[in-house]
Amino acid sequence: MKLDSSTRAVVTGAGSGLGRALAEELARRGASLLLADIDLDGASETVKLLGGARAHAVACDVSRAAAVEALAEEAERRLGGVDLVVNNAGVAVAGSVGEVPLDDWEWIMGVNLWGVIHGCHSFVPRLRRQGRGAILNVASAAGLLSTPRMAPYNVTKAGVVALSETLAGELAGSGVSVTALCPTFFHTNIMTSGRGDYMKGMTSTVERLMSLTKVQAPEVARAALDATEAGRLYAIPHRDGRWLWRLKRALPERYFDIMGLVTRSGAID
């Protein structure tokens, strides 16, 4: 599906970070945009940054099904329909299984997994009826690689990958494509809004990893939208993510032995 001036796109989590970068790249390609975020001020700031782009900001808590259904209805009113849905809103929780509070599990599941489920539930029937369009679900390499001490985040992102794969089969031949975006580390605000004591200990390590790559939010957004245009199921923009995924698929049990050793050594603390 070509992303151009005829494209009507909805982006969740568009108030900062990758969501803002995706909005900027879509605007560069000429799309009309409905930008959603639980922080309306952030979404409105993104609209301002886009200058003369055809863009509207709206508040939306993706963890609530009714709010996402209202977003779909708003897209029909503001844009006349939708061609691309970007389920991007996300948060982070880190820590070991049995130590992360269940409240934090429920919080991250509500945004990262239920938010994407809600987005697909509300928008996929609309796209299927019109016989064209695309879904871009923002997952993470964490959903493919299952790094220790990141269980809540891993579980939600693995769920997004599984949902995307399932949808790809269900929508085959319908004119609607599905892409799962699985980046590794790049500069984003997700750590500052995350929960869990282990998050605090990870901050310096994650910030260092974020700064090492040349593939930052603008490049991730461009790669994701290029993959969407091409109708590819997986978009894995970082080289380390691609190599680790290959290693896991080639040596699945050995891979987790290695990850356990690395974790116990303190290399990823």
Instruction: Catalogue the active-site residues.
Output: 153
Q: Which of 41, 56, 23, 2 is nearest to 138 (CA)?
A: 23
Q: How far is CA 184 from CA 53, 134, 267, in A?
A: 30, 23, 17
Q: What is the C-alpha separation between 207 and 78, in angstroms, rounded?
A: 38
CB atoms within 10 A of CB 179: 27
Which value, in Å, is the radius of gyration of the alpha carbons in the chain? 18
Exposed, middle or buried, 24 (CB in 10 Å: 0-12/13-18/19+)?
A: buried
The SS3 of residue 30 is coil
Q: Which of 140, 82, 81 is nearest to 116 (CA)?
A: 140
